[in-house]
Amino acid sequence: MYNQLKSNYSYHITSRCNNREFRLTRLECRQIFLYILKKAIIKYDFTLYCICIMSNHIHYLIEPQKAEDIPKIMHYINWYSAMCFNRMLNRTGHFWEKRYHQTSFPNTDIRRGLNTIRYIHANPKTAGMQKGFFYDFSNYGVYERLGDDGITTWHPAFLSLGEDLEECAQKYRQFKININPQKSHRKSFIGGVIYYPN
């Protein structure tokens, strides 16, 4: 895994609950997880671009200061959160699957960046949990409404969409409308450029 870690890359990471159990449904679990995530950002000084906490898994899009920090970051988050959740839920044993899943791409890959951001933000919608993109435990509002959640920041791909933040948000709103989970080949158009899903 280490030879796949590169600087100036974004890492889309997915962690799943052990046996894909629905262990993240409680509000308290999600709030505690966000607290742990803030502590991890302070400890390892990485950039968090996207987050979406689902019922049995979590999506992140991050950029570490040093690529080799990825295993350390994930070990810290998963160890700390498992300890807290096991106590809260009065359980023992593995909370997370042993291996998280990661894919990466250079920050200069605008198409891949936009598709990954949209994929993460669309998770609750494509899972049938809700009709729209706004979701209490994703940072979609940071992108569409230019909000500030205190832990995430805009990805370079998003910032490339316009000359100011308002234009970036407006174009991202149009881009996310084109998602269609039933047709993975669907095209999206922004400023004359065609973007394809991953």
Q: Is 80 exceeded by the pLDDT of residue 184?
A: no
Write the DSSP string, 27-59: HHHHHHHHHHHHHHHHHH--EEEEEEE-SSEEE
Return the pLDDT at 4.
64
Please give the Cα distance from 74 to 140 (Å, whole number): 22
Return the pLDDT at 130.
81
Question: Is residue 138 within 8 Å of 121, Cβ to Cβ?
Answer: yes
Q: Is 70 exceeded by the pLDDT of residue 183?
A: no
Q: Is 70 exceeded by the pLDDT of residue 22?
A: yes
The CATH number linked to 176 is: 3.30.70.1290
Tokens of 23: 């262990």
Into how many domains does the chain fold? 1
Return the pLDDT at 178.
65
Instruction: Give the tens place of pLDDT for each residue, 29-73.
Output: 999 999 999 999 999 999 999 999 999 999 999 999 988 999 999
Mean residue pLDDT of the chain comes to 87
Facing residues of 138 across strands? 52
Instruction: Give the tens place of pLDDT for each residue, 135-153.
Output: 889 999 999 999 999 999 9
Q: Residues near 84 by Cβ (< 8 Å), separated by ≥ 6?
A: 32, 36
Instruction: Give the tens place of pLDDT for each residue, 84-133.
Output: 999 998 998 899 998 899 999 999 999 999 999 999 999 999 888 887 88
Q: φ, ψ for residue 162 (rounded to 5)?
A: -155, 180
Tokens of 43: 């400890």
Return the pLDDT at 187.
41
Q: Which position has the token pair 């950029």? A: 63
Structural domain boundaries, residue 159: 1-198
Q: Is 90 exceeded by the pLDDT of residue 189?
A: no
Please give the Cα distance from 41 to 103 (Å, whole number): 20
Return the pLDDT at 193.
39
Residue 170 identity (one-letter amino acid):
Q
| pTM, full prediction | 0.86
Tokens of 32: 């505690």
Q: Is 60 exceeded by the pLDDT of residue 190?
A: no
Task: Provide the residue count of the chain.
Answer: 198
Q: φ, ψ for residue 58 (rounded to 5)?
A: -135, 135
Confidence at 179, pLDDT banded by 50, 70, 90: low
